[in-house]
Amino acid sequence: MFYTGQTVMIDHGLGLQSVYAHLSAVEVKLGQTVTKGQTIGKVGKSGRVTGPHLHFGVSLLSTKLDPLAVITPAP
């Protein structure tokens, strides 16, 4: 991933993958299993950006999806 700075990619299985980019800190290690609600990183401004933010993306079988169509809102 070019220009994304510190990035975490999570393989959810069955071809579903999420990406979290431009982080200021990464709290997980390669190959580590993560759980719902676990901190995986901190919002930052790494990579090619103009200010702090989180780039969040979702793909299924390498096809980018609209993240809002995939995530479930918290109650």
Q: What is the pLDDT of residues 12-55, one digit of tens each?
A: 999 999 999 999 999 999 999 999 999 999 999 999 999 999 99
Domains parsed from the chain with CATH numbers: 6-70 (2.70.70.10)
Structure tokens at 31: 């190959």
Q: Burial, 2: exposed, middle or buried (Cβ in 10 Å; 0-12, 13-18, 19+)?
A: exposed
Residue 13 pLDDT: 96
Average of per-residue pLDDT across 47-71: 94
